[in-house]
A and B are shown apart, each in its own frame.
Chain A
Amino acid sequence: MARYAAPGQPDSVVTFRDRYDHFIGGEYVPPARGQYFANPTPVTGEDFTEIARGTAEDVERALDAAHGAARAWGKTSVAERANILNKIADRVEANLEMLAVAETWDNGKAVRETLAADLPLAIDHFRYFAGAIRAQEGGISQIDEDLVAYHLHEPLGVVAQIIPWNFPILMAVWKLAPALAAGNAVVLKPAEQTPASIHVLNELIADLLPPGVLNIVNGFGVEAGKPLASSRRVAKVAFTGETTTGRLIMQYASENIIPVTLELGGKSPNVFFGDVASQRDSFYDKALEGFAMFALNQGEVCTCPSRALVQSDIYDSFMGDAVERTRAIKQGHPLDTETMIGAQASNDQLEKILSYIDIGKQEGARILTGGERADLGGELSGGYYVTPTIFEGDNKMRIFQEEIFGPVVSVTRFADYDDAMKTANDTLYGLGAGVWSRDGSVAYRAGRDIQAGRVWVNNYHAYPAHAAFGGYKQSGIGRENHRMMLDHYQQTKNLLVSYSQNAQGFF
């Protein structure tokens, strides 16, 4: 086991600044009202830096910078933009460890995940959209002999992006890479819970982008996010978060008649058909890992497989193995490379999870393992840790219907295929789902019958850039990832050209 030195110690691979201002027009500038807020690490609960508390004045300044840069940036060749994205990827890759430790310290997640997932995925995302923009083509439609429709892609202009705290760097990159590739200028607001790591990344790459193309305004939702999301000067708002704020952003967007993309969470079913346990082989082992995926990133994933549906004929033995697998999850210092589950991202998140464990018990759900706050001792006593928790209950219970956003899975059984689909779809959300079966036909049908935008079949929590990600039902509007994401950041220009010499014949 190795442990990275904590930031602030002399041998740490990352050094945070004492303070982060806004990044506007290619330079760091202090907030107009001169206010800052403290940023604690969830690992220990101690403050480690302070962050500019942005307001409408700062947002306006960032929008000025973005509008100043957008036109020239939108006119650059796709090769030029792709080359910049590739250079960003190279720069991030060369500093992967530093960024991984920074991300762990800001968010609380285990460094094992930031090293193996968050940062590698972010790097690949830049490279993917560098390739995608160069390969993108418009269209030519011959309407008739002398009339041709040309369809061309144009950037939207200046876009607003509001980033969640669960994957502070990766979720920013999911939004940034396609927006920049498509030629837009961006004003980005990081989550107030995790505002620091994005600045470590930004300082690495700031010289690669023209000033004003990427602007970062820190602050609270109500003070900085709202003036950005409601601004008449943005051409689009991209938001990842929860339903009420998603609706509010749509309301603002309706006033300005601009598009939004919204990723609003889920209550994803993970469905295990009986044939999974027909052999005790590597596939069975993989399925048990798939069950335990509810604890990935401390359960703070919009697609957390937070409902497990297990067929009755294998229920008892499968759940016995699943509980054992869950108890083997190593909880510890997030900077230990063997730690599998780290800290919840904030104190209020911890409190919310505990309040859900409480209502789960009140509703009569049975705890099979976990169910409490974990005190890991020493300096970690002030951090926000929850033991991986398995509830057994009924799909009508609130712990089966609401996104807890913690390492909590609610398990129920099903009799047959139709019963499984009925329960899987009995939810407000439709973001993710998992289907596990050795029978390809059953797995395919279930994947099609579950009303969700992403159904993992015989795997879970893989996020390749070339696979579209987004929600059905109340899980949002639009997609992220995949080449199609470029469309969400582009206008369609149609030139309808007549090559005829003759009048059209109306007048």
Chain B
Amino acid sequence: MPRVALTPEAADVLRGLRAEHGDLMFHQSGGCCDGSAPMCYLAGEFRTGGSDVHLGDLAVDEFVIPVWMSASQFEYWSHTHLTIDVVPGRGSGFSLEAPLGIRFLVRSRLLSDEEL
């Protein structure tokens, strides 16, 4: 059951980032300032482990971008579906898109009973 998706605009940005940097990953952040936002890194830059949940993979053309979240945060998010979008903005954290003057953003909807 897919929990994550992409808008076409976000997919375009990811194509550009992959061409520039290589394979990518997302980790959904929580907390302060730039938190509660998806962070885009080079694959492997952020070390996931037993305290993380693999939410799913985003397919952009022939490449795949895994999306992760901390397991404790997932307990509160598990009933929602996440769509990664992009808006004009100024950075945050060490996410790769920030220098482009844009910011990835999560849009959420409740999962239906069938999806759960």
Contacts and interface: CB of A to CB of B under 8 A. Distances in A.
B31 A221 contact: no
A314 B97 CA distance: 48
Nearest to B93: A245
Contacts of B27: 244
Interface centre among B36, B47, B94 (most CB of A within 10 A): B94
A248 B31 contact: no
Given A53-B99, A347-B89, A348-B88, A358 B107 contact: yes
A220 B91 contact: yes
Contact-size category for A: 35 or more
Interface string B94-116: 11101101010111111000000
A352 B90 contact: no
Contacts, number: 162
B99 to A, nearest CB: 5
Given A244-B39, A248-B45, A352-B105, A164 B32 contact: yes
Given A226-B94, A351-B87, A241 B72 contact: no
Interface stretch (A1-9, A199-207, A259-267): A259-267
Interface string B27-49: 11111111111010100011100
A69 to B, nearest CB: 27
Interface string A375-412: 00000000000000000000010100111110000000
A398 B103 contact: no
Contacts of A349: 89
B35 A403 contact: yes
Interface residues of B, number: 42
A245 B39 CA distance: 8
Contacts of A225: 94
A166 interface: yes
Given A242-B35, A251-B46, A359-B109, 12 more contacts: A37-B101, A164-B32, A242-B36, A243-B29, A347-B87, A347-B89, A348-B89, A358-B108, A402-B36, A403-B30, A428-B30, A474-B31
B91 A193 contact: yes
A73 interface: no
Given A222-B96, A352-B36, A398 B77 contact: yes
Nearest to A400: B76
